[in-house]
């Protein structure tokens, strides 16, 4: 029996295909409480008294990039299994309770973390903690549970990837971009490996990774930090520490020497599109200031309506229907920087590619202006403020930061570090990392174009 509301399942599905975007943080970091329980559980409490609502999130420091070779998809599969029954609660009981009290819940799996959350009235916080703590250790993992849920995941992959040429292409661009690191492998897993996942894999995964010493609890909302601490200590504190986990050291990229392309031609494609990606450092792996500069570079180059790519390709030349840039900086290991675009009207994909390349080359060669950088920072910081306005957005910032090697202090100083980015720093990272000789371009083409 699966009582998880459709909306939750859909949201969980969506989250699989992207790193949760955490390009957002409040201009004034709120004062947060941060502490650890004796069993190793880290706790962050973020007071937000504006409404009688609390967000309760439990983050595990395990994602698809931690999976054993040949077991791709197990992290995401396990996220689904967490909605099954425990020795204390029937399958779906937790979700039913959330719905009953008018709350919302969700879960998502990424390369580096898996998270579960509920948003409810503060009076329900204790119940949420009890349910969440219960499924950290008491999950019932029988073949009767595993088999049907695996079919659900297979169907999910069918509808979201196999039937979507752009997803198929995106997977193979990643598999080409990363030659050694597991970010090469899709979060949802390769179909042929998902099909083989079994009870033993699930139990092994659960025992290894689902433990207080591998988790971060984030509570944001209309709560008293002292009370949250007491409650967490009482409920989560009684769970014994799990096995000592090895450091999360994954194979890293060799020096890359080649320019690569990946092309998918499919009769289901209506409009061609182009993307190009590079391996670049993340907030955790970058030299000081580089990740912040990459964020501002991404903003200047292709972050929304005021960006160079938008202004040049869409407004001025009118050759693209969409185009932009992205940087996934919140990542445990080296991550990627990308650009993308789709032609409009009579324009060709080649024109779009060349125009984007030209914008990058211009920044590499001539740099960016002080004014541009300041405006980009403002836009970037404003988006942080918007996120702060959303309680769960705030909780997500802390959860994703703490599960990808950053600290509460890093989060607190984030806005200041963004403010320190200079035009020189932007040009420097552009020059250093966006080398065309080490790029991977993806081309999605309609059948007739061949």
Q: List residues binding its own copies (CB under 8 A).
A: 69-70, 72, 168-169, 171-172, 175-176, 179-180, 182, 184-185, 190-193, 249-252, 254-265, 437
Least distance to its own copies, CB of residue 259, Å: 5
| Smaller CB separation from its own copies, 182 or 341 | 182
Residue appearing with tokens 């502490």: 35
Q: With b meaning 16 or more CB within 10 Å and e meaning fewer, what string describes 198-228?
A: eeebbeebbebbbbbbbbbbbbbbbbebeeb
- The length of the chain, given as a count of residues: 450
User: Could you say which DSSP state residue 188 is in?
Assistant: T
Nearest to its own copies of 259, 354 (CB atom): 259
Least separation in angstroms between residue 375's CB and its own copies is 35
Paired strand residues for 338: 277, 326
User: Looking at beta carbons only, is 6 or 69 nearer to its own copies?
Assistant: 69
Q: How far is CA 124 from the centre of its chain?
A: 28
CB 203 → its own copies: shortest distance, Å?
A: 18
Shortest Å, Cβ 274 to its own copies: 14
- Pairing assessment for the beta strands 215-221 and 42-47 based on DSSP bridges: parallel
State the greatest distance between any 2 C-alpha atoms of the chain, in Å, as a whole number: 65
Question: How far apart are alpha carbons 247 and 42 in whole angstroms?
Answer: 17
254 touches 222 (CB < 8 A): no
Q: How far is the CB of 162 from its own copies (least distance, A)?
A: 9
Identity of the residue, 130 or 334, whose beta carbon is nearer to its own copies in the bound complex: 334
Catalytic residue among 42, 67, 79, 312, which? 79
Residue reference for tokens 């909780």: 395
Q: How far is the CB of 427 from its own copies (least distance, A)?
A: 23
DSSP letters, 311-376, are IIIIIIS--EEEEEEEE----SS-EEEEEEEEE-TT--HHHHHHHHHHHHHHHHHH---HHHHHHH
Active site residue 246: no
The neighbour count for residue 50, using CB atoms within 10 Å, is 9
Pairing status of strand 104-109 against strand 335-343? unpaired
For the annotated catalytic residues, the residue numbers are 79
């Amino acid at each position: 029996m699966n009582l998880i509301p459709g909306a939750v399942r859909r949201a969980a599905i969506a989250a699989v295909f992207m790193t949760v975007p955490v390009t957002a943080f409040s201009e004034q970091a709120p004062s947060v409480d941060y502490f650890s329980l004796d069993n190793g559980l880290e706790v962050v409490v973020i007071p937000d008294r504006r409404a009688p609502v609390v967000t309760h999130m439990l983050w595990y420091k395990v994602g698809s990039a931690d999976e054993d070779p040949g077991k791709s998809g197990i992290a995401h599969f396990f996220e689904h299994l967490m909605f099954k029954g425990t020795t204390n609660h029937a399958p779906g009981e937790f979700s039913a309770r959330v719905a009953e009290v008018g709350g919302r819940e969700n879960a998502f799996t990424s390369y580096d973390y898996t998270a579960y959350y509920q948003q409810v009235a503060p009076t329900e916080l204790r119940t949420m903690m009890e349910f969440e703590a219960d499924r950290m250790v008491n999950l019932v993992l029988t073949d009767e549970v595993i088999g049907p849920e695996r079919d659900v995941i297979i169907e999910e992959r069918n509808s979201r990837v196999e039937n979507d040429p752009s997803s198929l292409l995106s997977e193979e661009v990643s598999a080409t971009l990363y030659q050694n690191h597991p970010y090469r492998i899709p979060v949802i897993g390769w179909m042929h490996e998902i099909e083989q996942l079994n009870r033993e894999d699930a139990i092994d995964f659960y025992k290894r990774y689902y433990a207080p010493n591998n988790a971060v609890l984030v509570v944001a909302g209309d709560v008293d930090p002292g009370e949250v601490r007491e409650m967490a200590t009482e409920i989560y504190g009684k769970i014994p520490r799990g096995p000592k986990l090895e450091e999360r050291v994954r194979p890293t990229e060799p020096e890359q020497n080649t320019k690569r392309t990946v092309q998918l031609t499919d009769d289901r494609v209506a409009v061609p599109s182009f993307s190009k990606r590079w391996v670049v450092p993340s907030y955790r792996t970058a030299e000081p200031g580089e990740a912040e500069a990459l964020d501002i570079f991404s903003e200047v180059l292709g972050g929304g309506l005021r960006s160079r790519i938008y202004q040049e390709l869409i407004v001025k030349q009118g050759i693209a229907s969409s185009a932009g840039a992205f940087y996934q900086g919140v990542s445990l290991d080296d991550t990627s920087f990308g650009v993308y675009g789709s032609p409009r009207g009579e324009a060709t994909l080649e024109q779009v590619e060349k125009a984007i390349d030209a914008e990058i080359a211009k920044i590499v060669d001539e740099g960016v202006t002080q004014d541009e950088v300041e405006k980009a920072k403002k836009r970037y910081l404003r988006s942080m403020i918007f996120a702060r306005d959303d309680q769960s957005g705030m909780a997500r910032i802390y959860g994703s930061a703490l599960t990808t090697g950053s600290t509460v202090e890093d989060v607190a100083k984030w806005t200041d570090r963004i403010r320190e980015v200079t035009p020189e720093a932007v040009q420097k990272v552009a020059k250093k990392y966006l080398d065309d000789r080490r790029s991977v371009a993806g081309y999605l083409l309609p059948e007739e174009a061949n």
